[in-house]
Structure 1
Amino acid sequence: MSTECPSYLRGNVMRVTRLNGCGQAQYGDGNQVTSDGFITVKMSAEVEEGEETSVTKANGKTCISDKAPDQLKWYSLEMEFCQVDPDLVTMINPTWQQVLDAQGDVVGYDAIGELDSSTGFGLELWMDVYGETDACVGQEAQGAWGYLLLPWCVGGAPGDLEINNGAVSFNFTGRTKAGNNWRRGPYNVVLDENNIPAPLLTPVPKKAHYRLITTTVRPPEPECGAMPVDRPTPEPAELVVTGLPNEEPRRTVRLFVDNHGFGPVTIDWGDGSAVEESTEGRWVPHYYTTDGPVTVTVCDKETPVVCATKELVVPLPADEPLIELVCANDPARPTRILAEVKMPPQSTQRGLIDWGDGSDPQEFDAARSGGVANLTHTYNAPSIYTVSVRRVDQTRFRARDAIQVPCSGGGGEAPKVCPPVAAPSDPTGRTVQLTIGGTCASSGEGPKVQVVKATEDPTGRTAKVTINNSGS
């Protein structure tokens, strides 16, 4: 893995996309404008300073002096244009109205006094790349550009307008807003793992105010007027499954569908019942009348070939993961432990384990190992530690276990085994009685017994007993 450190210069082209009230791109006609008619785009950080706390003792000396961290509120935007696209202006503020000529073409706009910040727009900017860079490699690369994305901008308002004996420029202001739903976006702006133009590889976090990357996909060509935003082919939906907490047996399945902002889906519950249509982003319950394995299939309604499946067994097991802590059987590191985590099959199999010693929680994926994850951790100091594990898809489902470190059984010592004696319950004398870890009998003679640690058990809790070299 390498890191790109390019230098950027000059703005190249911008694209403005109409958003809805949830910060999602709107598909269909007239929802994007691409322009190179801007002069500058300026971003200014608006920061709220953290509160200062200061306490002075009676003798005049400082007792407490501290300051809370500053918080980024938003970025203020100032945009200056030398070429005005009326569709772009009315997209920045949808309360302004277009003015049409006799043929129905857009020739201008009316700047109405009201300003609307309930919806907003997404702003993309491309810049040229200066100097040496390794970004533009391979036959599929179309060049190298800086790509700046502001996923949610609101509050578009006009700035000062001056008409004189010179060029006339138009100014507009706005600000960024957190909580966007841009995700990967509706456009192909980067190359994917197959070197094919695709949307952003990783979704934009909801808290992000902007993203800056280097891309090798050519920016769009500027065009006057609004153009349609085509609905891209979505990825399969993400499915979250739980049961009812107090139901026994657990035959009711609750399904949450995340269709990545692409809207309604169809649900085939796999039990012969009618296919159900549902909006995304809500819990949908279904009761199974028979037990056994089922396959739930969820497809995008508009693109039904894009489907996600989930294998379930009815009745559902508990929604919480299971965790067991044992010694790792490492004589060189007696404070090392082994955690066996079993994730419920209806989960995504991804979990997060907190070792309870202040270290960063560790994320794991148990899907590759049949739903069971074997994790190790070495502690720095002896103590009693409480280890907790939770599901990533539903964080309220948790489990925990405690262990004392260093723990017994980690040094590889075999348990104490008394010499074998004849079992008093068998008068034939053919039965041998073994006492492990207890008080040894004082009489009786038996075969030769050897006890060693079982090598196939890494926990060190299993002893292997050999009687007369025959094995047992």
Structure 2
Amino acid sequence: MFDCLASVAMNPNTDDGDDVSYKAANGRQCGFRRGCPTFNGYDVEVNFFSVSPEFLEITTGNPVVYDYAGKAIGYDDCSLQCNSGFALELWAEVLGEDVCATGGSGGAWIYFLLPWVTNGILGDLEVGSEAVTLQLTGATRAGGGWGTGPYDVIAKDAAGTPSPLLTPLGQTCHRRTMITTVAPPAPVCDYVPVTGGLCLAS
């Protein structure tokens, strides 16, 4: 969990499908069927200013480098790990009238969940006199066994009691977007155990 994101792009990846035209022998069009687009997922691009080695290990599969005391101080760039993946949760603060509409006095956030992002890889890196910005790219996949998730991200009652998702994310879904009055957790750089296990589909 970190809060040094510069931007996150989620670009739909689709296949338009093939249009079918039915023509008579004289060339007149007798029928037409529009191709059905196929949604392949989102191409994800994350730009950030600084990040922990642990985050890079989780998102790219590249191993962490430790110092003599066991503190993470860096990472190795190795082969692309296409057989692993990670989930990405984002909170963006809602400003204006929408806060009142939610009924919450502590604020409101737009919450994004991408339960399965694969092929994480760091982009071009240029070290110079300017600040270094890192870029991570990946692609979403459907499913992932997220279910209702292991974390409290939404209120489950009128008192605002934090809870995991109230309904599980479907096995054909790539993203969930919703408004929540549950504040995002405090940023941490160390590994945090996932409560309740990793495969929580229900």
TM-score, with normalisation over the residues of structure 1?
0.40
Q: Deviations over 1:415-470 (max 9, x none)?
A: xxxxxxxxxxxxxxxxxxxxxxxxxxxxxxxxxxxxxxxxxxxxxxxxxxxxxxxx
SS of residue matched to 2:12: strand
The 5 Å alignment of 1:269-348 reads none
Alignment check: 8 A CA contact 1:180 1:207 kept = no
- Asked whether the 8 Å contact 1:86–1:225 carries over to 2, the reply is no
Q: Which runs of 5+ in 2 are unaligned?
A: none
Given that 1:184 and 1:200 are in contact with CA atoms closer than 8 Å, whether structure 2 keeps it comes out as: yes
**Aligned partner (choices 217, 222, 244) of residue 182 of structure 2:** 217
Q: Spell out, residue by residue over 1:227-252, the C-alpha distance to the aligned partner (whole angstroms, 9 max, x if none).
A: 222238xxxxxxxxxxxxxxxxxxxx
| Residue of structure 2 aligned with 1:117, choices 69, 82, 87 | 82
- 2:12 corresponding residue in structure 1: 45
2:53 pairs with 1:89:
no
- Report if aligned partners of 1:82, 1:170 keep a CA contact under 8 Å in 2: yes
- Deviation of the 1:162 alpha carbon: 1.3
Identity percentage of aligned residues: 37
Which residue of structure 2 lines up, in the alignment, with residue 355 of structure 1?
none
Do structure 1's residue 198 and structure 2's residue 169 form an aligned pair? no
Q: Check the 8 A contact 1:135/1:144 in 2, yes or no.
A: no
Match of residue 75 from structure 1: 42
Task: Name the CA shift for 1:261/1:73 in 2 (closer, same or farther; >3 Å).
Answer: closer
Alignment of 1:417-436 (within 5 A): none
Q: For the Cα contact (< 8 Å) 1:49–1:70, is it kept in 2?
A: yes
**RMSD of aligned C-alpha atoms?**
1.9
Aligned mates of 1:98, 1:116 — CA distance in 2 = 14
Q: How many residues align?
A: 199
Determine the C-alpha separation between the residues in 2 that align with 1:149 and 1:169.
24
Per the alignment, in what secondary structure is the counterpart of residue 22 of structure 2? Answer: strand
Write the deviation string for residues 326-349 of structure 1: whole angstroms up to 9, x where unpaired: xxxxxxxxxxxxxxxxxxxxxxxx
In the TM superposition, residue 48 of structure 1 has moved relative to its aligned partner by: 0.7
Match of 1:131 in 2: 96
8 Å Cα contact 1:184/1:204 also seen in 2: yes
- TM-score, normalised to structure 2, is 0.91
For residues 104 and 135 of structure 1, what CA distance do their matches in structure 2 show? 48
- Say whether 1:105 aligns with 2:71: yes
Q: Taking structure 1 as reference, are residues 260 and 123 closer, same or farther at Cα in structure 2, changes over 3 Å only?
A: closer
- Aligned residue for 2:118? 154
How far apart are 1:62 and its partner, in Å?
1.1
- Is 1:142 the equivalent of 2:106? yes
* Residue 65 of structure 1, CA deviation: 2.0
Larger Rg over CA atoms: 1
Partner residue, 1:188: 152
Q: Identify the residue that residue 25 of structure 2 maps to in structure 1.
A: 58
Report the Cα distance in structure 1 between the residues aligned to 2:80 and 2:200, rounded to whole angstroms: 30
Answer yes or no: is the 8 Å Cα contact 1:135–1:216 preserved in 2. Answer: no
- Cα distance in 2, alignment partners of residues 179 and 227 from structure 1: 23
Counterpart residue type for residue 182 of structure 2: V
Mapped partners of 1:207, 1:58: distance in 2: 42
Instruction: Give the C-alpha shift of residue 218 in structure 1.
Output: 1.0
Q: For residue 35 of structure 1, give the secondary structure of its aligned residue in structure 2.
A: coil
Are 1:190 and 1:197, in contact at CA under 8 Å, matched by a contact in 2?
yes
Q: Spell out, residue by residue over 1:261-313, the C-alpha distance to the aligned partner (whole angstroms, 9 max, x if none).
A: 59xxxxxxxxxxxxxxxxxxxxxxxxxxxxxxxxxxxxxxxxxxxxxxxxxxx
What are the ranges of 5 or more consecutive residues in structure 1 without an aligned counterpart? 1-33, 233-258, 263-472
What letter is aligned with 1:121?
A: F
